[in-house]
């Protein structure tokens, strides 16, 4: 029920202009609505490059990316991007209040919707501790906030839009394990039939995902659940042991 968006990669290869090596090479997978698809791999593996292809920040060299069966090259950019709540790896806040920063995702959001997004993002407690709550002023680039607090505000900014597709690029890396787990379980509960694509470097963050994509030097090194990959994927085993 409700709007949903299946994301499918079919033999996708992408190369940065002038680069010798493809950053993403022959990748195929299906990310289903109501499920979490995680992408794991070491630094430089191509995780950010891969997820940036979904909102079409770059065009692919070969293959296709489909949203609900439609090639994204055939969709209006506005129609495509409206479906996506993208939290970039280096999410940036601007000088303004917490509410203004969250509302950057959806200008018409009510205070209650902002509060709900902060609640799901596990940010409500630290926001409420501030004297001015959601009207607390954020200094330039969030210099009066911790890395984990900034990440959670960036996540709230995506949540307030209620998109069909969420992309979290390493958005949990500055959170302690407990907050990371609470946030992922709240996301599961509150995002309904949305498609969640979650990039991470640590195994704890991807363990409960419905499927995990293991990237290595731009290539698909494996795809499966935590248990499946633990059994027979050497790259995944190396990540677990690191």
How many residues of this chain interact with ligand DGT, rule: CB under 6 A? 13
Region 80-99 residues binding ligand DGT, contact defined as CB under 6 A:
89
User: Shortest Cβ distance from residue 181 to ligand DGT (Å)?
Assistant: 21
Q: Which does 177 bind (CB under 5 to 8 A by kind): Mg ion, ligand DGT, none?
A: none
Q: How many CA atoms lie within 13 A of 191 on its CB side?
A: 31
Q: Which stretch binds ligand DGT (CB under 6 A): 38-46, 97-105, 118-126, 183-191?
A: 38-46
Contact pick of 3, 11, 34, 44 for ligand DGT (by CB under 6 A): 44
Residues in a beta bridge with 200 = 40
Contact pick of 41, 85, 105, 163 for ligand DGT (by CB under 6 A): 41
Nearest CB to ligand DGT, comparing residues 19 and 189: 19
Q: What is the spatial distance between Cα 216 and Cα 124, in angstroms, rounded to a whole number? A: 37
Q: Which residues bind Mg ion (CB under 5 A)?
A: 47-48, 89
Q: Does 57 bind ligand DGT (CB under 6 A)?
A: no
Q: What is the spatial distance between Cα 33 and Cα 4, in angstroms, rounded to a whole number? A: 6
Q: What is the spatial distance between Cα 75 and Cα 191, in angstroms, rounded to a whole number? A: 24
Cα–Cα distances in Å, from 58 out to 49, 52, 97, 131, 165?
Answer: 9, 7, 32, 43, 18
String of contacts with ligand DGT for each residue 178-217, x by CB under 6 A: -----------------------x----------------
Contact pick of 43, 112, 140, 242 for ligand DGT (by CB under 6 A): 43
User: Shortest Cβ distance from residue 210 to Mg ion (Å)?
Assistant: 22
Judged by DSSP in three states, 87 sits in strand
Nearest CB to Mg ion, comparing residues 48 and 193: 48
Q: Which does 107 bind (CB under 5 to 8 A by kind): ligand DGT, Mg ion, none?
A: none
Nearest CB to Mg ion, comparing residues 138 and 200: 200
Region 11-30 residues binding ligand DGT, contact defined as CB under 6 A:
16, 19, 23
For 115: left if phi > 0, alpha if psi spans -120 to 50, otherwise beta; the answer is alpha
Continuous H helices in 18-57: 47-52
Residue pair 45/96 in contact by the 8 Å Cβ criterion: no
Cα–Cα distances in Å, from 100 out to 18, 42, 135, 157?
Answer: 39, 34, 8, 10
């Amino acid at each position: 029920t409700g709007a949903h968006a299946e994301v499918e990669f079919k033999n996708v290869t992408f190369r940065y202009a002038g680069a010798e090596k493809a950053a993403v090479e022959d990748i195929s997978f299906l990310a289903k609505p109501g499920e979490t698809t995680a992408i794991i791999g070491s630094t430089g593996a191509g995780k950010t490059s891969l997820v940036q292809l979904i909102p079409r920040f770059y065009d692919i060299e070969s293959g296709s990316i489909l949203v609900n069966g439609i090639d994204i090259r055939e969709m209006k950019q506005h129609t495509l991007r409206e479906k996506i709540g993208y939290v970039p790896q280096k999410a940036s806040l601007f000088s303004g209040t917490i509410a203004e920063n969250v509302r950057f995702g959806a200008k018409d959001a009510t205070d209650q919707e902002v509060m709900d997004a902060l609640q799901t993002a596990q940010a409500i407690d630290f926001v409420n501790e501030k004297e001015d709550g959601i009207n607390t002023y954020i200094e330039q680039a969030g210099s009066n906030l911790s890395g984990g607090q900034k990440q959670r505000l960036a996540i709230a900014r995506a949540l307030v839009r209620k998109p069909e597709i969420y992309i979290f690029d390493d958005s949990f890396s500055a959170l302690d394990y407990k907050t990371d787990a609470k946030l992922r379980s709240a996301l599961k509960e509150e995002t309904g039939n949305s498609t969640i694509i979650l990039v991470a470097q640590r195994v704890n963050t991807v363990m409960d995902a419905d499927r995990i994509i293991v990237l290595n030097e731009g290539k698909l090194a494996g795809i499966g659940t935590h248990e499946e990959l633990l059994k027979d994927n050497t790259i995944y085993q190396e990540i677990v042991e690191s």
